[in-house]
Structure 1
């Protein structure tokens, strides 16, 4: 049966599937169990008795669970500092929250991210474990004994890691979108390129002046011309919002507006925003980012044909001041 109904390709889930395996090997229950398997259980038990109440340990034991599945102890974290990430995820703290100024453990982030203990950390492993165990005690006391099992603990870490993975994948997709737009510009200007690197391309325009197309942090891509007296003419600032979530696009356009306001203040004459959602309400988008001179669709640019792409192409050529390719 033929139908016009179609859904976007589940690219995020494909990315999640491969990323989840990495998380399991480094920060999830698999990593904890592997580390504990190489340690002396008697040493872990001594530390558990020091940091955890007997009531909490008995509750876990009644369900066949070892204490270190919930409670962090120095022996485990010294053997594998990355497991700080496991306990953070289990307790439901985002990276931004946990390593922000409010918790006071910013200096310990290298444990999770690089697997190294920071010799300059102001907090000892013992202090860290005491605080983590205090929070974990509340978790254990709040869980029903009838539901408490090893799968539930794994599920709790996944509930926290989901948004973190989505954020990471979205960041990568965002970076890819910026690279894609840069590549489209590079192809348009290829006949006039003097030199190029991964970060920038140099053009010689019809007036003999150097024009640079560069990656930037805020905005994403800029085009600048070096004048005869050495002054810099700031031609174009481009913001790329390549997320496909239509429900979030207006927040992204608001972010683009902030970048474009900054660009205008720095002297850029033109500001464009490239988006990656279908059926964008241009009238509404213009109210959300009045500084944006033109909105373009990433999909249209990647197809490299059609009215929108041709407009983008001709505008780029005109702005850098070179003739069209023959």
Structure 2
């Protein structure tokens, strides 16, 4: 009713950092940490709700009015859904670009993954993953893989928020490093990026790329991306 989505309210990065209250909404349980802060939560809600009612003015408070006020949360919900859709579209876009680069060596193509055969006969899997977004790994033997490349795709176009997204990529890449990935790349969707600042925010990122530049299928940035994909998967050059 106060116009916040769960992510905006409970989130640590962009929200209020009060995730310990979430169990109250999700399963009706008050944890030990939340119990000690209940009074402060009630005061905060009462203060915000009072300001909301003052803004409503002389309208009579009723169940119907409160039902109408809950529509305030529709905006944040749709915005969150739109952000998720944009993020998924960006990941698919980068995956398609990689597929075009390696298609002459693809042996198996699935909905969420593909396998390519290297010049030495080894199989490399390129697939969607929950964290990071796209991974490339080499099959050393049955059931044993070598993690090669971890790619984080940040599709948001809001320049003012890009450094938060890069911070999220850094967390993912730190995890990827622990899992043995030798290369970590971050693909962003903004036109201008302060590279020096980006590198300081994500020192684990080996290479930064732009979705727009990769989508051109030409130019220095795309050619660098293409060379590295082909080199790290050890696939032969396509025959003309």
After TM superposition, the score normalised by the length of structure 2 is 0.77
- 1:265 and 2:178 correspond: yes
Cα deviation, 1:299-319, whole Å, max 9, x if unaligned, reads: 111121111111111110111
- 1:102 and 2:21 correspond: yes
| Correspondence for 1:146 among 43, 58, 61 | 58
Tell which structure's C-alpha radius of gyration is larger.
1
Distance 2:60 2:96 in 1: 52
Superposition deviation, residue 231 in structure 1: 3.3
* Map 1:178-217 → 2, pairs under 5 A: 178-217=91-130
1:271 to 1:154, Cα distance in 2 relative to 1, 3 A: same
Q: Secondary structure at the match of 1:189?
A: helix
Distance 1:236 1:278 in 2: 24
1:207 to 1:250, Cα distance in 2 relative to 1, 3 A: same
* Map 1:69-88 → 2, pairs under 5 A: none
If each structure's strand is expressed as a fraction of its own residues, which one has the higher value? 2
Instruction: Name the structure 1 match of 2:40.
Output: none
Superposition deviation, residue 216 in structure 1: 0.7
Alpha-carbon RMSD: 2.9
Is the 1:209–1:228 contact (alpha carbons within 8 Å) kept by the matching residues of 2? no
Instruction: Name the structure 2 match of 1:132.
Output: none
Instruction: Name the structure 1 match of 2:157.
Output: 244
Q: Secondary structure at the match of 2:21?
A: coil
Is the 1:199–1:215 contact (alpha carbons within 8 Å) kept by the matching residues of 2? yes
* Map 1:285-324 → 2, pairs under 5 A: 285-324=198-237
Instruction: Name the structure 2 match of 1:35.
Output: none
Superposition deviation, residue 205 in structure 1: 0.7
Distance 2:95 2:178 in 1: 23
Higher RCO structure (Cα 8 Å, ≥6 apart): 2
Distance 2:191 2:129 in 1: 26
1:152 to 1:246, Cα distance in 2 relative to 1, 3 A: farther
Cα deviation, 1:163-198, whole Å, max 9, x if unaligned, reads: 222121111100111111111101111000001111
1:102 to 1:204, Cα distance in 2 relative to 1, 3 A: same
Q: Secondary structure at the match of 1:301?
A: helix
Is the 2:3–2:76 contact (alpha carbons within 8 Å) kept by the matching residues of 1? no
1:323 to 1:165, Cα distance in 2 relative to 1, 3 A: same
* Residues 153-162 or 197-206, more deviating: 153-162
Is the 2:115–2:123 contact (alpha carbons within 8 Å) kept by the matching residues of 1? yes
Cα deviation, 1:118-177, whole Å, max 9, x if unaligned, reads: xxxxxxxxxxxxxxxxx8xx6696455435699987884454322222121111100111
Superposition deviation, residue 107 in structure 1: 3.8
Superposition deviation, residue 285 in structure 1: 0.5
Q: Number of matched residues?
A: 209
Distance 1:199 1:318 in 2: 22
Unaligned runs of at least 5 residues, structure 1: 1-89, 109-134
Instruction: Name the structure 1 match of 2:13.
Output: none
Is the 2:154–2:188 contact (alpha carbons within 8 Å) kept by the matching residues of 1? yes
| Correspondence for 2:190 among 255, 259, 277 | 277
